[in-house]
Chain A
Amino acid sequence: MADGKGPGRITTSGLAFGALMAILIVVSLWLFMAKPWWFPTLASVHGAEIDAVFTAVLIVTGIAFVVTQAVLGYFVARYGASGNEKADYWHDNPKGEFFLLTGTALILVVLVFMGQRVWLKYYFSDLPKNAVTVQVTAQQFSWFMHYPGADGKFGRTDLTLVGTSSPANQVGLDDNDPASKDDVVIERDMHVPVNRPVVVRLRSKDVIHSFNLPYQRVKQDAVPGLSIEVPFTPNVAGTYEIACAELCGNNHYKMRGTITVEASEADFEAWLKTKLSERTGD
């Protein structure tokens, strides 16, 4: 009769399971280290810190993942039943458990601090003074970008004035307000200058949408009844996509826009001027 000190047996099933764990580990390491597919190329200032938090969590969880799956695979391969040999009879190790528990807790505390440093900096910094402010209104299934124009003042918007005749009319811009005269409202297409802070003032006219700039690491739900300010500083010129990330109805997938980060202030001003002349030319 065995005493639990026997070797156990390496079984086909155990080996197969161990091999699958090995494959899982190798494929995961390839996916997460060789990065054949990865985040859209970073194009904003704060995004670097978000990516860094992701990487820190990836390293910690990656190690935990590899160690746990490897240990599981090894044990399962190693400790198959062998005749009537008995298993070990132990079921407690308070010291070991205390060590693992506090170890896990400490690692998590470090992750909380790293993550919160970035979170608090992003959400609790004062909005930049020289920012370009764009009022973005979401609706099923489009985006309207509202610029204040040369005077820097947004014209009054009134939901009772909303119609469908022009983008300006769709956000309910009040033409009688003098501040409205030089306002520009464009559907689906946003332009901002590079390396200057942008504040998106986000609203929704119907259901919840989510303003997502995958390259700029921006995601914020647009909630009807709320006006939410989203800051970011794009730092790579180019044209990128705007996505809706919150299910908003049957054509949710079509709620696509573009954001062009102009290579200079001058380019941005020129673009704005063209848009204004298009509007006044109407």
Chain B
Amino acid sequence: MTDTHGHQHEGEHDHPQLGFWRKYVFSTDHKVIGIQYLITAMAMAVIGGTLSLLMRLQLGWPHGSFPFLAKLMPKAFDNLGHMDPGFYLSLVTMHGTIMVFFLFTAVLTGGFGNFLIPLQIGARDMAFPFLNALSYWVFLCSCVVIFSALLVEGGAPLGGWTAYAPLSALPLIDPHQGTGMTLWITAIALFTASGLMGGLNYITTILTMRTKGLSMMRLPLTQWSLLITAVLGLLAFPVLLAAAILLVFDRVGGTSFFIPGGIIMGGKLIEHTGGHPLLWQHLFWFFGHPEVYIVILPAMGIASDILSTFCRKPIFSYKMMVYAMAAISGLSFIVWGHHMFVSGMSPFLGSVFTITTLLIAVPSAVKTFNWLGTVWGARIQFTSAGLFSIGFISLFVSGGLSGIFLGTSAADIQLQDTYFVVAHFHLVMAIAPLFAAYAGLYYWFPKMFGRFMNETAGKIHFWASFVGVYCVFFPMHILGIGGQMRRIYDPLNYNFLQPQQILNEFISMSAFFLAAAQILFLVNFFVSIWSGKRVTENNPWKATTLEWETPCPTGHGNFGPELPVVHRWAFDYSPPDAKEDFLPQTAPAVPAARQH
């Protein structure tokens, strides 16, 4: 067997012993890079999560005084301990940006993608290991740059993660929109460059380096999802990069791509003329909507595979799962206008985007039916990973259905820019993927570190998180129906919002409870790396896919002298004619009746 960079019959013993720095820091091993992505993204999640707690503090008790925080961050609070409104909006911006890009995109494609692609397709590494390492280091740079935006004079940008122009295009309009905004654009540009390097690598590796017998329709759904995600990334990221560059020109080069004539700033008419603010929105959402699927598709793939493993039952309708993901990714490029129904875009386009948007609900529904079909007649093992994959289904359904309200342009008039939207996208593209990521971490932890995470702590983490996320995000639908606008510093400033303030308080208290459960996870994760229960076998979960053919933790080069040969699909759980309740993909002798 040969793979593209010449590992002819090569096993892990043939790789030279590397020193500490080459092995754990400047490594080109896909597993190390994957873990680097995971841990960096976890650090970013701690930052992004902390910012959201500060937001919840303000929203729960808008007139509250926080002298302790005022001492810590004197510029963000006045001397009475009240939070500064500009600071609040910079929290909004940074929380959104960090979570969308630096947590979810990074953890799911960067972390799990790098760790799993070669292992699950029976390859020794990625197609371009150096490019892979470069992608991580550029990502790390982007993390440092975005973090530094929190520290600079003037503060972090306040225009939201969507950075709508002209607020984002006019550096002098607010101190936050100066250096902070410039750093934001730089970080996003670096991030997209890193994502492009990763994407090229994923596509090449999955298409060309699958081991013998592993046809495309035998791939685990995680691999399909990562492949489709990489294609989405390659098509969507350059658009964001281009938009970011145009935005820089507008800010420093005197151009007017996004700035129309007739803007008064500081009481004076400014010189820009001829641009169009909606151009930014079109470019941003042409990227932004596929980005939603860049997050949710790998989550779907990971949750599907883990669900099947712990249901001890094949995934229901594998082919439809693949086709549905392909359909979702194709459609994701023609639905962006549903973010812009009341933006001033032609109402005719509103009709078009309503139709395409509701179309995308069809493959999403197919996937939900198939997950339910997988659980039907299963024999569920309630491990932490299994529980999180089941929780994923419930959350995806809750978050997905509210999308139908927002996709229906007429109903969206009232709901646009309210907490109904916040509830929708948090559940469907943040919390559901978070649950899939947790499932993945509990599941592949033994393969990464040779130890288990503590299961009792894991289960407490699941139950607390599952209750917590519903308490935090479900009432937000009601806030939105009541009219509470997004990104509002003090809802009490409006009379019509005052009767529902008790919901804001409830959400804030739930958020602190939810955060406590995540601390339990972090402690469990890091303690288990060094002192978790040792794994004594290759395949502790009795799973079918190829990564479980390798030792825990997997050594350099992944497989022994011979690469594995695949004889069947990835979902042979509980086959009636087998002795055990699963057949690994490498098990030979396919009975004619069950060929895939």
Contacts and interface: CB of A to CB of B under 8 A. Distances in A.
Interface of A: 1, 3-4, 8, 11, 13-14, 16-17, 20-21, 24, 27-28, 31, 37-40, 49-51, 53-54, 57-58, 60-61, 64-65, 68-69, 71-72, 75-76, 79-82, 84-93, 97, 100-101, 104-105, 108-109, 111-112, 115-116, 118-120, 122-124, 139-140, 159-160, 162-164, 205-208, 210, 212, 214-215, 217-221, 223-226, 228, 240-241, 243-254, 256
Contact of A207 (B92, B166, B490): B166
A24 B278 CA distance: 40
A226 B275 CA distance: 11
B456 interface: no
Nearest to B340: A221
A163 B267 CA distance: 6
Contacts of A214: 414, 483, 496
A224 B404 contact: no
A112 B354 contact: yes
B235 to A, nearest CB: 26
Nearest to A164: B267
Nearest to A140: B173
Interface residues of B, number: 117
30 contacts: A3-B576, A8-B379, A16-B463, A21-B394, A31-B474, A37-B478, A39-B482, A50-B410, A69-B394, A72-B372, A75-B372, A86-B576, A87-B581, A88-B378, A89-B314, A91-B315, A100-B366, A112-B355, A116-B351, A119-B347, A205-B264, A210-B342, A212-B485, A214-B414, A214-B496, A219-B417, A224-B263, A245-B416, A250-B176, A252-B85
B312 to A, nearest CB: 5
Contacts of A111: 358, 404, 408
Interface stretch (B18-26, B156-164, B292-300, B530-538): B156-164
Shortest 10 CB-CB distances between A and B: which pairs? Answer: A225-B260, A88-B377, A123-B347, A250-B86, A13-B382, A91-B314, A87-B313, A214-B483, A115-B408, A86-B574
B376 A215 contact: no
A37 B487 contact: no
A225 B277 contact: yes
Interface string B341-380: 0111001001100110011011001101110110111111
A115 B362 contact: no
Given A64-B401, A224-B262, A248-B167, A87 B496 contact: no
Contact of B408 (A57, A224, A248): A57
Contacts of B365: 100-101, 104
B594 to A, nearest CB: 9
Nearest to A220: B342
Interface string B399-430: 00110110011110111111000000000000
B183 interface: no
A65 B85 contact: no
B342 A219 contact: yes
B444 interface: no
A28 B381 CA distance: 29
A93 B320 CA distance: 11
B312 A87 contact: yes
Interface string B73-91: 0000000000011100100
A253 B489 contact: yes
Contact of B379 (A28, A79, A252): A79
Contact of B410 (A49, A228, A240, A252): A49
Given A57-B411, A220-B342, A246 B417 contact: yes
Given A97-B366, A115-B410, A223 B354 contact: no
Contacts of A240: 496
B493 A254 contact: yes
B372 A115 contact: no
Nearest to A79: B378
A205 B414 contact: no
B382 A89 contact: no
A19 to B, nearest CB: 11
Contacts, number: 324
A174 B376 CA distance: 73
B173 A14 contact: no
Contacts of B477: 31
A101 B312 contact: no
Nearest to A109: B358
Given A123-B347, A250-B176, A14 B482 contact: no
B317 interface: yes
A108 B358 contact: yes
Nearest to B401: A61
A225 B261 contact: yes
Contact of B575 (A16, A89, A140, A241): A89
Nearest to B471: A27
Contacts of B474: 24, 27-28, 31
A14 B411 contact: no
A61 B165 CA distance: 35
A39 B414 CA distance: 9
A115 B134 CA distance: 48
Contacts of B152: none
B470 interface: yes
A247 B487 contact: yes
B317 A91 contact: yes
A65, A101, A243, A254 interface centre (most CB from chain B within 10 Å)? A243
B414 A54 contact: yes
A88 B478 CA distance: 41
B39 interface: no
B361 A108 contact: yes
Contact of B267 (A51, A88, A162, A219): A162
A65 B398 contact: yes
Given A81-B380, A91-B314, 18 more contacts: A37-B500, A40-B496, A65-B397, A68-B372, A68-B397, A97-B317, A100-B369, A159-B264, A206-B264, A223-B278, A224-B260, A225-B261, A243-B494, A245-B417, A245-B418, A247-B167, A250-B158, A253-B491
Contact of A81 (B359, B379, B402, B416): B379
A218 B351 CA distance: 18
Interface in B67-122: 84-86, 89, 92
B316 interface: yes
A250 B379 contact: no
Contacts of B475: 31
B574 A89 contact: yes
B328 to A, nearest CB: 14
A91 B276 CA distance: 51
B427 to A, nearest CB: 12
